Amino acid sequence: MLMLAGCDEKKAEPPKPVVAEKPAPVSPVRPGDDVKHGEYLATIAACLECHTPRVPPTFNELDASKVMSGGVPFTGPWGTVHSANVSMVAAKYEPALLEAAIRGQLSYEFQMPPSSMR
């Protein structure tokens, strides 16, 4: 029986998981400051996570120059879809219409997916 001892075989280390930093708490905004209130809502609803591209090559950070610009690919059994550019939509519509769109009360073109699919 032939046995080899002391082989110089290097074992590959398992990849280390990427741990995202916990985001800073977001304070509610007083009524009247629409921009800050919109930023607050987009933060607590995690809109940026799907509608803002990440910075390559690590993709750990959101690209601040492309906030809500969409184009983020999502691949599943249905194929690949890309998130919408909601910055363009938001610029065109009145606040009441945007609220209805976010709540899924408009046509298919503006509906958010059911919470079970987010």
> Which DSSP string corresponds to the chain?
-----S--PPPPPPPPPP-PPPPPP-----TT-HHHHHHHHHHHTTHHHHHSPBPTTT--SB-GGGTT----EEEETTEEEE---HHHHHHHS-HHHHHHHHTT-S-TTTPPPPGGG-
- Supply the pLDDT for residue 110: 47
Please, are residues 63 and 55 in contact by the beta-carbon 8 Å criterion? yes
- Model's pTM, two decimal places? 0.55
Contacts of 83 (CB under 8 A, 6+ apart): 50, 51, 70, 71, 72, 74
The predicted-structure confidence for 5-56, as pLDDT tens digits, reads as follows: 555 556 667 666 666 566 666 666 666 777 788 788 888 888 889 999 999 9
Greatest distance between any 2 Cα atoms in the chain: 84
Average pLDDT of the segment spanning 54-73 = 91
Report which of residues 74 and 90 the model is more confident about: 74
- Supply the pLDDT for residue 29: 66
